[in-house]
Amino acid sequence: EQKDPEQKMFHDTVSEVFSSIVPVLEVHPEYRENKILERMVEPERTVSFRVVWQDDKGEVQVNRGYRVQMSSAMGPYKGGLRFHPSVTLDVLKFLAFEQVYKNALTGLPIGGAKGGSDFDPHGRSDNEVMHFCQSFMTELCRHIGPNVDVPAGDIGVGGREIGYLFGQYKRIRDSYDAGVLTGKRVDYWGSLARTEATGYGLLYFVKNMLDAKGIDLAGKTIVVSGSGNVATYAIEKAQEYGAKVVTCSDSNGYIYDPEGIDLAAVKEIKQVRRGRIKEYVETHPQAEYHEGCRGVWTVKCDIALPCATQGEIDLASAKALVANGVTAVGEGANMPSSLDAIAYFQQQKVLFAPAKAANAGGVAVSALEMAQNSERLQWTFEEVDGRLKAIMKNIYESARKNAEKYADPDDLVAGANITAFVRVADVMLAQGLV
Ligand code: NDP
């Protein structure tokens, strides 16, 4: 904290991870002796650059671009690009730090990074987004490559942006390196099942967690927030498992359907028409629409799956869920629960699946996209989905094993942090003073 006192989010996330690993340091003094913690908080490389482009009116625009390459211990740097006005070095450092451990949990050969820009794509034409992406990649291409650093999408960076970024990389480097970016469209060597991976992976993780307690997902009532990529495929898999999902939401409000969410209608509204979730009640008169997002956590359920955004479950929402008898919470979004909400769930013996482990399915399938690109082959949906299922089981089991060894056996927050930390720390020791 003495070095960059203004980077509050980064310091908070470092303290959260490092506080879990105190019992490990007691039995592994070599981590302290070799200054593993001090090394882990210093990115291997950070680049910050000027992005100049021209808008549709001919005006010159200047943005700031970044790439934080936090750790290459386990493989090429890997992590998304975020285009949003809130992007700062602090935000990207905290996301890159988290990414190192999430990626290590997948058991696949990927290091950790994060990047982006304070550019806001909202309200910009396709032409403007393309010009921005081309200028951004003109600098970024010096720092990435299929064996160096493999960016992907994040907030504000979807299939369209990945396409423009890939096109510019290919043009400058004069090389068809399909594996330089992931999240590509399937027709130019993206992976089948990448779209579904985070939502499906969340359900695979939660099912493992419930199975271990002899709890059946079938017949359970589930509250989901969000109606974007993660929420949609979490609902799909939950329904396949025979659970009843009664809510979903967007940034305006939530719907409650006592008969169970009609997912085809949600996809039609959000994916096809790009409409608002409240339109659902026009064709489903039994359902209710409520303005505002927090109310969704007052709906009675057995399982809650926050899949919208960070900070959506505060202590009051956690208390409302527990008062209504929730038995399990699985985080689909990144950091949806506040630290005091997590502590409350754990104190109340609610089974809790932390984001770092439970939503790692997305990046896991991105690593499988890299593998397919290296092979110059494309696997079937079933092959990718089968591997995803096995990866999520493995993440659950390793987190559980370390929770049993070092903490409370049900504390998967500590279990996931410890598993990831030990993997990265041991590899750093093996690779010497780098
Ligand atoms: P999308 O943009 O597809 O969907 C986000 C959903 O959340 C939308 O329904 C959106 O509503 C809603 N939302 C946005 N802001 C708020 C808010 N302040 N309050 C309530 N609802 C809100 O994103 P994804 O589904 O891809 O991502 C969701 C979360 O999961 C993020 O935290 C992301 O970082 C994380 N994640 C995603 C992965 C992936 O593979 N996609 C992988 C790992 C984590 P609206 O339609 O109104 O915008």
As a residue count, the chain comes to 434
Q: How far apart are CA 137 and CA 167, in angstroms?
A: 9
Q: Atom 16, ligand 1: which residue's CA is nearest? A: 251
Q: Which of 3, 35, 114, 389 is catalytic?
A: 114
Do β-strands 303-306 and 328-330 pair in parallel, antiparallel, or remain unpaired? parallel
| Collapsed DSSP state (helix, strand, coil) of residue 403 | helix
Residue 127 marked as a ligand binder: no
Q: Which of 279, 274, 277 is nearest to 292 (CA)?
A: 277
- pLDDT tens string 313-363: 999 999 999 999 999 999 999 889 998 999 999 999 999 999 999 999 999
411-427: pLDDT as tens digits: 999 999 999 999 999 99
What are the Cα distances from residue 351, in Å, to 54, 106, 362? Answer: 51, 21, 22
- Whether the CB-CB separation of 386 and 201 falls below 8 Å is answered with no
Is 220's pLDDT higher than 80? yes
Tokens of 9: 């989010």
Burial state string for 135-147 with b = 16 or more CB within 10 A and e = fewer than 16: bbbbbbbebbbbe
Q: Do domains 42-177 and 194-349 have the same CATH topology?
A: yes
Ligand 1 shell residues, CB under 6 Å: 198, 226-231, 249-251, 293, 307-310, 312, 332-334, 359, 362
Q: Say if residues 353 and 205 touch (Cβ distance below 8 Å).
A: yes
- Ligand 1 midpoint to CA 197 (Å): 14
Fold category of 42-177 in CATH: Rossmann fold (3.40.50)
CATH class assigned to 194-349: alpha beta
What pLDDT, on a 0 to 100 scale, did the predictor assign at position 16?
87
78 annotated to a ligand binding site: yes
Distance CA 339, CA 318 (A): 11
User: What's residue 13's pLDDT?
Assistant: 87
Flag whether pLDDT at 104 surpasses 70: yes
Using only the alpha carbons of the chain, give its radius of gyration. Answer: 21
Tokens 């629409």 belong to residue: 289
114 a catalytic residue: yes
Indicate the domain borders of the chain: 42-177, 194-349
Q: By alpha-carbon position, which residue is closest to atom 4 of ligand 1?
A: 228
Q: What is the mean pLDDT of the chain?
A: 96
**Mean of pLDDT values over 152-158:** 91
- Kindly report, residue by residue over 127-152, the tens digit of the pLDDT: 999 999 999 999 999 999 999 999 99
Residue 281 has pLDDT above 80, yes or no: yes
> How much is the average pLDDT of 373-395?
98
pLDDT at residue 1, as a whole number: 59
Q: Residue 145: beta bridge partners?
A: 149
The pLDDT of residue 112 is above 80: yes
d(CA 97, CA 94): 5
Rounded to whole angstroms, how far apart are CA atoms 300 and 77? 42
- Which whole number is the average pLDDT over 68-72? 98
Q: What residues does 80 pair with on adjacent strands?
A: 152
Confidence of residue 395 (pLDDT cuts 50, 70, 90): very high
Say how many C-beta atoms besides its own lie within 10 A of residue 232's C-beta. Answer: 21
How many Å lie between the centroid of ligand 1 and the Cα of residue 268?
A: 17
- pLDDT score, position 8: 85
> Which residues are paired to 45 by β-bridges?
69
Name the band, by pLDDT with cuts 50, 70 and 90, for residue 122. Answer: confident
Q: Helix, strand or coil for residue 407?
A: coil
Tokens of 381: 């949906």
Of ligand 1's listed atoms, the one at least distance from the Cα of 334 is: 32
H or E element at residue 114: strand 112-117
